[in-house]
Amino acid sequence: MAFSTGLAGMRVFSYSAASVLGLLMVSNTLAPVLTTRSERAIVNAPSYLITAPIDGVVQGMTMNTGSRLRDGETVARIRNVSVDQAKLVELRLRVSEMTQEITQRNLRLKTFETQAAQLSDQVLRMQREVLGNLENELAINQTRIERLEATLGLAKGAAARQAKLQTAGIVSKTVAEDQLVTADIVQSQLDELQLGKRQLVERLNAARKGIIVGIDSGQVPTLQAEWRSATQAIALLKGEISTQEDGLRAVIAMRDAEEHRVSLLSETSVEVQGQSEVTTLAIEDGMAARAGDTLARAVRCDQRVIVAIFPERTASKLGPGTAMKISSPDWPEPVPAKVTSILPRTTDTEDTRYVLPFPPTERREFYVMIQPEAAPPQTGGMACGVGAWVTAELQEGTLPQLSAGVRGLLDTALAAIKPNSALAASEDTAFPRHEIAHDVASGL
Geometric angle at alpha carbon 119, from 113 and 125, rounded to 5°: 140
Alpha helices, H only, 169-296: 173-208, 220-266
Q: What is the pLDDT of residue 246?
A: 95
Closest by CA to 74, choosing from 62, 86, 64, is 62
Strands 305-311 and 365-372: antiparallel
Region 167-183 average pLDDT: 74
Distance, CA of 302 to CA of 46 (rounded, Å): 9
Local confidence band at 99 (pLDDT 50, 70, 90 cut-offs): very high
The pLDDT of 28-39, averaged and rounded, is: 62
pLDDT band for position 331 (cuts 50, 70, 90): confident
Lowest mean pLDDT among 72-76, 280-284, 397-401: 397-401
pLDDT at 142: 87
Residue 71 backbone class (left: φ over 0; alpha: ψ -120 to 50; beta: rest): beta
User: What is the Cα–Cα distance from 96 to 88, expressed in whole angstroms?
Assistant: 12
Average pLDDT over residues 275-289: 89
pLDDT of residue 339: 92
What are the residue boundaries of the structural domains of the chain, listed by start? 18-57+302-443, 87-249
pLDDT tens column, 224-278: 788 889 899 999 999 999 999 999 999 999 999 999 988 888 888 899 988 888 9
pLDDT at residue number 235: 93
Q: Is the pLDDT of residue 35 over 70?
A: no
pLDDT at 433: 34
d(CA 349, CA 32): 31
**Structure-model confidence comparison of residues 269 and 169, the more confident one:** 269
pLDDT at 87: 92
Overall average pLDDT of the 81-104 stretch? 92
CA 1 from centre of chain: 95
Task: Report the top-level CATH class of 18-57+302-443.
Answer: mainly beta
Quick one: which of 356, 372, 370 has its CA closest to 302? 372
Burial of 173 (0-12, 13-18, 19+ CB in 10 A): exposed
pLDDT of residue 251: 95
CB 419 within 8 Å of CB 29: no
- Mean of all residue pLDDT scores within the chain: 78
Mean pLDDT over residues 11-26, rounded? 63
What pTM was estimated for this model as a whole? Answer: 0.51
Band (pLDDT 50/70/90 cuts) for residue 214 is low
Say which residue, 107 or 420, is predicted with more confidence: 107
The identity of residue 435, as a single letter, is E
What does the DSSP 8-state code read for residue 286?
A: T
- Does 375 have pLDDT greater than 90? no
Tell me the average pLDDT across 282-299. 90
In one letter, which amino acid is 147? R
* Average pLDDT value for residue range 146-164: 79
b/e map 237-259, b = 16+ CB within 10 Å: beeebeeeeeebeebbebbeebe
Percentage of residues of the chain with pLDDT beyond 70 = 78
Q: d(Cα 276, Cα 250) in Å, to the nearest integer? A: 43
Which of 32-36, 66-70, 82-86, 419-423 bottoms out in mean pLDDT, i.e. has the lowest? 419-423
pLDDT higher than threshold 80 for residue 73 = yes
CATH class of 87-249: mainly alpha
